[in-house]
Structures are given as structure tokens and as C-alpha cells.
Amino acid sequence: MDNKVLLIIVFALFAVAAALVVFAPGEQEAQTASRASVPSQTEGAASTTAVSASPDVQTTLASGVDLAGESQTASNVASASSTPASHRFVATYFHNTARCVTCRSIEQRSRDTIQTAFAAEIVSGRLAWRALNMEEKENEHYAIDYDLPYASLVLAEMDGEREVRFKVLEQTWDLVHKRQPLLEDYVENETRAFLEGR
């Protein structure tokens, strides 16, 4: 079976499970009340959806996270979350404007791994994926903040708009051309350890 078809099936199953949790009897009223307390966000570009209003820590979800076939808005992601909205994790792939095949491969495989292995965390709003061009003016500071000499995957723990800690996954470039699933295992294990505070 094609990997893309399998990934779509996995995402569809998570969407059904998430819908059952969100719309379980007695939960619909709580969800409606929760939505009322979260201001609505306007949708970003077609491939991303904003989950945080602050541009500096704007958390975007890649279109592959759209498990139900519809855009996730800030209110329905926040209402499904059991994690306080102020405390969350962000996995960011920082890249340059000019990109090689290897850079694009690391991004795609890392994104696919995180969206598959941590689908529940993404749906709940505890974890978000984004990709940023660190050569764009508003993102240039990240290369300095994280000391990034080249495209890199960075995990960050956020408390509101304040970054609590971060980790650069430095082995992605070493593992991308080795046998699969070494890169995927590395990304999943490092992300899981980071979410657990290790």
C-alpha cells in the first residue's frame, strides 16, 4: 500500500477518534462554552492555520494536520485541548530561501513523523508543527537565537509567549541518507523525550 494512502487512512482514523472525544455526550455544551471564551482567529494561507495570535510565536499547523478535511481554527483547537493554552510545544523546521533536495526531505520526513506519532497532541493543541524561512526579515533572529548555521529542526517549549527551553535536533542531516527509519526514529524519540521534560 502506498505510504501516502496509509498516512491518509491513519489521519482519518484520528479524526474520527477526535470527533468522538470532542462530541461525546455532555461534552458538546462544554465545547460551546469553551469556544465562546476563545477569540476567533482568521485563517492564514491555504496551507497553514494560525493557532496563536502573536507573530513571534505564531504556531502554524501544516495542511496535513487537517484531520477532518476542514481548517482547524484557534477556537476548536483550543476547546479540544486539555493542556492550558498558555503552555505548549512547537516543532519548527527552519530553512533558507534556496533549498536543496536533502533539506526538503528532512522537512517532509520530520513533519510526517511528528504528525503521525503525535497526532493526538497536535489535535489537542499541545504540540504544533511549523516551517519558517529564517532568511525572511521577521524570522532572521531565530538563526541567532538558536545558533543555526544551516536548516534545522528545533523543538521549543512555550509558556504563553515566553520560551521556556528549546532543543536543536542536530543529527537530522547525519541521518537523512542512512537507512530508514533512522531519521524518523530519531525525530520521534527526541520529540517524545522533549515533551516529557527530558
pLDDT of residue 81: 40
CB 79 within 8 A of CB 35: yes
Q: Range with the lowest mean pLDDT among 10-19, 56-65, 97-106, 136-145?
A: 56-65
In this structure, what CATH number is given to the domain that contains residue 9?
A: 3.40.30.10
CB 94 within 8 A of CB 141: no
- CA 101 from chain centre, in angstroms, equals 22
pLDDT of residue 86: 79
pLDDT of residue 15: 59
Is residue 5 predicted with pLDDT exceeding 50?
yes
pLDDT of residue 69: 31
User: Domain range spanning residue 92?
Assistant: 3-195
Is residue 25 predicted with pLDDT exceeding 50?
no
E strand spans, the chain: 48-50, 60-62, 87-95, 127-133, 152-159, 162-169
User: What are φ and ψ of residue 169, in 5° steps?
Assistant: -85, 90
Q: Provide the number of structural domains found in the chain.
A: 1
